[in-house]
Structure 1
Amino acid sequence: MTTILKCISPIDGSVYAERPVADVAAARRAVAGVRSAQKAWAARPLAERIALVEAGVEALVAMKDEAVPELAHMMGRPVRYGGEFGGVVERAAYMGSIAAEALAPLVVENSARFERRIEREPHGVVFVIAPWNYPYLTAINTVAPALIAGNAVVLKHATQTLLAGERMVRAFTSAGIPQDVFINLFLDHLTTEALIAERAFDFINFTGSVNGGRAIERAAAGTFTPLGLELGGKDPGYVMEDADIDWAADVLMDGAMYNSGQCCCGIERIYVHRSRFDEFVAKSVEIVSRLRLGSPLDAETTLGPMANARFASEVRAQTAEAVAAGATPLIDPARFPQDDGGTYLMPQILTGVSHQMRVMRDESFGPVVGVMPVADDDEAISLMNDSPYGLTASLWTANADRAARIGGRLETGTVFMNRADYLDPALCWTGCKDTGRGGALSVIGFHNLTRPKSYHLRKALT
């Protein structure tokens, strides 16, 4: 019996899209076809591969009018924000612009006697397992540089954004990427794990939960397949006594609430110097209280439903537990009558929180944030590091040297000063601890999607 994947729309609980999964035999044939096509793709000039990837991105952006409401139906992001396509263009364009330098041979010697160099060679078939929260942005982080570097790509998307991978491949192949070089597969967990265990892929990039990352590692055990894993996060902000409070509150609340809090590097906990705590909290409550919860198809909505009722239930549970343990909720429920106990979830700011509460310790991935006062940098650093995760940290101060010193003591992949919830394609997107391993984008992203190959050529025998 064929398994059917169903995307349940968070708007109304209806089945928005269905697709049958490929069985193991069909999936093997598809991946074998990709492997056969990869060598010819890698043999094309780099400039040609870059141009075709850029054309694919352009074709995807041209689908924006269809893709934006489709995303709203699939995972609930309000149409007013226009999808993810500005970031898709920025990241793909940047990776194309640095490709020649990033992939250039490292020449150690080129003399009459010896030629010694290190080249970057594509892995072969890259498997991208993409998440639902930013289905195009997270995928493009690997898809664009992988194709540019000469790899072929197999894309598997989350069921919640069932149509995103299909649309992405359709755009790229319509722009001239060979059909067997970039494909989308609908797979269940068992088939996915079987393919990984058979070493069907030469590099795997997974973005998702910690448990999902562990499953990928178990499936790949003993295959020596290189992995890139971006997993959970509990990203902190620290507002110092010299911070611009209006600016900090505006950006940190956006980082906590945008996309209904469903962001890999969203702000989930905030520490504020005691001298500015009340001021920061008051400003934050004012900002969050102005959000409008409702249908993502309504252009006035600023906060859509969470992607799944199960995700909203977890946020409600964390919040209720915190309040029962003494936390104070500051957002008035009367401002959000649309909260239906299902996917439509009101935002919340909590004070009186501690690290004994799950809301300050476990990943929430929803529109709730706890705010704690701190006495100094040492206390803030200790609390920021008191987490199993390490993706980003957001520091708010007028002193860049101070931010750099604090950043050097933080267990995190990225340190921001006076900004949050942003991915700079010129920098490596990476994490530590349970957030995973590897790195995307930047020169390092190209290096992770290729392997070094050394040439030691002796020209003269004397």
Structure 2
Amino acid sequence: MANIQRTISPVDGSIYVERELADQRQIDAALQRAVEAQRDWKQTSLTERAAICERMVQYMLDHANDIGAEISWQMGRPIRYTPAEITRGFEERARYMAAIAPDALRDISLAPQDGLQRFIRREPLGVVLVLAPWNYPYLTSVNSIVPAIMAGNSVIIKHSNQTPLVAERYSEAFREAGLPDAVCQHLHITHDDVAGMIADPRVDFVAFTGSVAGGHAVQQAASQRFIGTGMELGGKDPAYVRDDADIAYAVAGLVDGAFFNSGQSCCGIERIYVHQAVYDDFVESAVELTRQYILGDPLQPETTLGPMVRTSAADFVRGQIASAVAQGATALIDPALFPMSKAGTPYLAPQILVNVNHSMDVMIEESFGPVVGIMPVKDDAEAIALMNDSKYGLTASIWTNDAERALQLGEQVNTGTWYMNRCDYLDPALAWTGVKDSGRGCTLSALGYESLTRPKSFHLRTVTDG
């Protein structure tokens, strides 16, 4: 009897997608097809690769509204926002990475020497296995898929079992774009089968986005092989609001950074440190703005805050909040303002906590939900010490009108990206990377091509006489 994967929608608890899981024979066949397809694909010109990727992007844009509805049903983000995952971030990243490929992959030519020609060429790795999460299912996956294809690799996508339709959309879009068969495939498989694929010699690189525990599992599966693994893992991203900041602007940016997508963002704001001189004003404004969210059915256009991905995720955040309150924290948002917020469901009201400290899990462990703690600080030094007091380091932001000071403090913070007066945004021209338990490796920017290729040196003696 076939094994069936079921996707339970957080919207109403119904089964939204059912898919038969691939068996070992099908997995083996997909791997072999990927190997064989890549041999031809790597000979395809960059111009043709870019044209195919452009047609793939256009397919996604043409179907953005339908895709948005699928995202909302699968993981719960309000439908007023989901089409923009395609029409904004996905399009921007895909087109940028395709556009820079000729420069990023160009041969590195060395100064001529008598009778010698020397250069370094970036060659594709082979088969890239992309393991993608549900929270931003297209944004997280496009970071690896498009540059892998552009670099001449073949790709196999294993998407989260919460968002299986995303992998299918990629396959359909690339097929419509004219990508040769098996250059981009998808599989619905178990975690054990993923581990088996990682151990298979036909897989040459693994691009993983997910939890720290998931990253360790990928590392374990790859431990007997000398292959690269890219890890984009968890975060507990901090923000620091200085006393010279535009408070209204900082509140708007940070409340959105904390609660958009119900806080389910690897680079969402999970802790805020505010200079004591402006602390009260900041907290008061943040509470006022947070109360304006509309928690409800994500398929309704007025909804601005949808359910979390599943009840267990919401219960985890409820537990963090309850534990912090038991330790002395104060919850400033009355859940009664959000009638859809009910125990035993994935619907959870946003929450702001004050009187918090780093002995509380809510300030040190990833929440991945609609809760944020706010602490007053007396100066820059205290803020930097608290920002660095974390096992994570994906992004951090400072809110100030002093750009010079922002740069000085940014050099002291252990993070992959340092923002001034913005947060929770990926610029495809910049390296997307993390430190500590936030991961290893890099996607986006010209540097994102480095992990998807290998350098090959050419050392040619062209003159042999004399």
Q: TM-score, normalised by structure 1?
A: 0.99
User: Using the alignment, how far apart are the partners of 1:394 and 1:338 within structure 2?
Assistant: 32
SS at match of 1:369: strand
For residue 28 of structure 1, what is the aligned residue in structure 2? 28
Give yes or no for contact 1:199–1:225 (8 Å, CA) kept in 2.
no
Offset at residue 179 of structure 1 (A)? 2.2
What is the aligned counterpart of 2:184 among 177, 182, 185?
182
RMSD: 0.9
For residue 307 of structure 2, give the secondary structure of its aligned residue in structure 1: coil
Distance 2:412 2:421 in 1: 18
Aligned counterpart in structure 2 of residue 88 of structure 1, from 90, 96, 101: 90
Distance in structure 2 (CA, Å) of the matches to 1:339 and 1:199: 48
- Say if 2:35 and 2:202, in contact at 8 Å, map to a contact too: no
Q: How does 1:351-370 map to 2 (within 5 A)?
A: 351-370=354-373
Contact 1:265 1:392 (8 Å CA) reproduced: yes
Within 5 A, what are the aligned runs for 1:74-113? 74-83=74-83, 84-85=85-86, 86-111=88-113, 113=115
SS of 2:178's partner is coil
Q: Which amino acid aligns with 1:114?
A: L
SS across alignment from 2:111: strand
Partner of 1:451: 454
Q: One-letter code of the match for 2:366?
A: E
The one-letter code matched in structure 2 to 1:370 is G
Q: Which amino acid aligns with 1:27?
A: I
Q: Distance in 2 between matches of 1:382 and 1:304?
A: 34
Is 2:374 aligned against 1:344? Answer: no
2-side partners of 1:2 and 1:173: how far apart?
A: 27
Contact 1:114 1:460 in 2 (8 A): yes
Question: What's the counterpart of residue 234 of structure 1?
Answer: 236
* 1:112 Cα offset (Å): 5.1
Secondary structure in 2 aligned to 1:286? helix
CA displacement at 1:2 relative to structure 2: 2.5
Structure 2: gaps of 5 or more residues? none
Give the 3-state SS of the residue equivalent to 1:317 in structure 2.
helix
The one-letter code sitting in structure 2 at the alignment partner of 1:6 is R
**Residues 124-178 of structure 1 deviation map (CA, whole Å, 9 limit, x = unaligned):** 1111000000111111000011101111100000011121111121111111111
Which of 424, 427, 431 does residue 424 from structure 1 map onto? 427
Contact 2:72/2:79 (<8 A) preserved = yes
Is the Cα–Cα contact under 8 Å of residues 5 and 18 in structure 1 kept in the other structure?
yes
Q: After superposition, where does 1:375-394 map in structure 2 within 5 Å?
A: 375-394=378-397
State the Cα deviation string for residues 332-370 of structure 1 (Å, max 9, x = none).
222111112110100000000010000001100000000
Residue of structure 2 equivalent to 1:414 = 417
- Counterparts of 1:61-72 in structure 2, within 5 Å, are 61-72=61-72
**Secondary structure at the residue paired with 2:214?**
helix
For the residue of structure 1 that corresponds to 2:118, the secondary structure is strand
| SS of residue paired to 1:163 | helix
Pairing 1:166-205 to 2, within 5 Å after superposition: 166-205=168-207
Is the Cα–Cα contact under 8 Å of residues 71 and 82 in structure 2 kept in the other structure? no
For 2:22 and 2:392, locate their aligned partners in 1 and report how far apart those are by CA, in whole Å: 34
Identity of aligned residues (%): 52
Partner of 2:218: 216
How far residue 278 of structure 1 moved from its aligned partner, in angstroms, is: 0.3
Q: Quote the Cα distance in structure 1 between the aligned partners of 2:134 and 2:201.
A: 25
> Hey, what does 1:271 align to over in structure 2?
273
- What is the alpha-carbon distance in structure 1 between the residues aligned to residue 157 and residue 396 of structure 2? 30
Provide the secondary structure at the position in 2 that maps to 1:430: coil
Moved over 4 A (4+): none
Which digits, 9 at most, give the CA deviation of each residue in 1:196-253, with x for residues without a partner? 1123311110000000000000000021110100011000000001100000010000
Question: CA contact under 8 A between 1:60 and 1:172: conserved in structure 2?
Answer: no
Distance 1:221 1:252 in 2: 39
Which residue in 1 is equivalent to 2:7? 7
User: What is the CA distance between 1:111 and its match in structure 2?
Assistant: 4.9
The CA distance in 2 between the partners of 1:34 and 1:60, in whole Å, is: 23
Alpha carbons 2:234, 2:392 under 8 Å: kept:
yes
Question: What amino acid maps onto 1:409 in structure 2?
Answer: Q
Where in structure 1 are there 5+ consecutive unaligned residues?
none
**8 Å contact from structure 2 (residues 341, 348) kept in 1:** yes
- Asked whether the 8 Å contact 2:209–2:232 carries over to 1, the reply is yes
The code of the aligned residue for 1:95 comes to M
Q: Specify the alignment match of 2:60 in structure 1.
A: 60
Q: Distance in 2 between matches of 1:106 and 1:246?
A: 48
Distance, in Å, in 1 between the alignment partners of 2:45 and 2:26 is 31
Q: Secondary structure at the match of 2:17?
A: strand
Task: Tell whether the 8 Å contact from 1:108 to 1:116 is kept in structure 2 after alignment.
Answer: yes
Task: Report deviation, 1:68.
Answer: 0.9
CA offset digits 1:266-313 (Å, max 9, x no partner):
000000000010010011001100000000000000000001111101
Indicate if the aligned counterparts of 1:199 and 1:220 stay in contact, CA closer than 8 A. Answer: no
Residue 372 of structure 1 corresponds to 375
Shift of 1:121: 0.4
Determine if contact 1:128/1:154 at 8 Å carries over to the other structure: yes
Offset, 1:190: 0.8
In structure 1, C-alpha distance between the alignment counterparts of 2:197 and 2:276, rounded to whole Å: 53
Q: Which amino acid aligns with 2:385?
A: S
State the Cα deviation string for residues 23-56 of structure 1 (Å, max 9, x = none): 1221011111011000211101101101101110
Deviation at 1:109, TM superposition (A): 3.0
Q: Number of matched residues?
A: 462
Q: SS state of the match for residue 216, structure 2?
A: helix
CA distance in structure 2 between the partners assigned to 1:214 and 1:283 by the alignment: 40
Q: Is contact 2:72-2:82 (8 Å) kept? A: no
1:299 equivalent to 2:301? Answer yes
Q: Mapping of 1:109-120 within 5 angstroms? A: 109-111=111-113, 113-120=115-122
Q: CA deviation at 1:63?
A: 1.3
Structure 2 match to 1:323: 325
